[in-house]
Structure 1
Amino acid sequence: MRMAPKDRSSTAAEAGEALAVEGLGFLAADETRLERFLAVTGLGPHNLRRAAADPGFLVSVLDYLASDERLLVAFAETSGRRPEAVMRTLERLRGPSPPAST
């Protein structure tokens, strides 16, 4: 029996989540970067793993990286990607923007 191919949005979401996990690893590899990230998010070592299991948190990791151009460029270089590719992945993970209220 042949299995149905994965939905493209599912694959994109999985790739985005994998990139965010890679971004978290990038932050954790440097004590100063990690301490600042934890201070901004209000997380600590005791609840970071639990938070990392939440897809919404993973979007926030990429948001954090994107909020600082130097950090974004450093992460992109480390991961072998262009900063624009990281930003496109972030936009796909965020999904469509809600309509503006009038």
Structure 2
Amino acid sequence: MREKQSQVDPLAVAADVLGWLANEPDMLSRFLALSGLRADQLREAIADPGFLAGLLDFVMGHEPTLIAFSDATGTKPEDVGAAWRALSGPGLDSGEF
């Protein structure tokens, strides 16, 4: 019998990442530098699904960042991965093209 997978709310995970970044000045500075955004643009950007995908991409692209976020928030890394896949769409290795 197959176990039922838990449902992950990708928007909630992305919001948790943004909240975590807001309390981690070094990480927030790194995210802003990589994204090209300024801190005053974050409120407007949150409405953009591409921005939310970018938040999760930032976390998923660097294992120490993923672990730090997971440890700080109690979010399972696999839940971050599920949210990332949901917001980012199919990747080159997904076979979904």
> Which TM bucket (shorter chain)?
0.7 to 0.9
Aligned to 1:22: 16
TM-score by length of 2: 0.79
Aligned to 1:64: 58
Unmatched runs of 5 consecutive residues or more in structure 1: 1-10
Aligned to 1:38: 32
- 2:52–2:87 Cα contact (<8 Å) kept: no
2:11 aligned partner, one-letter code: E
RMSD across aligned positions (CA) = 1.7
SS of equivalent to 1:47: helix
2:68 aligned partner, one-letter code: A
Identity across the alignment (%):
40
2:87 aligned with 1:93, yes or no? yes
Larger Rg, first or second structure (1 or 2): 1
Runs of 4+ with deviation above 4 angstroms: none
Q: Residues of 2 paired with 1:57 and 1:23: CA distance?
A: 12
TM-score by length of 1: 0.76
- Count of residues in correspondence between the two structures: 87
1:20 aligned partner, one-letter code: A
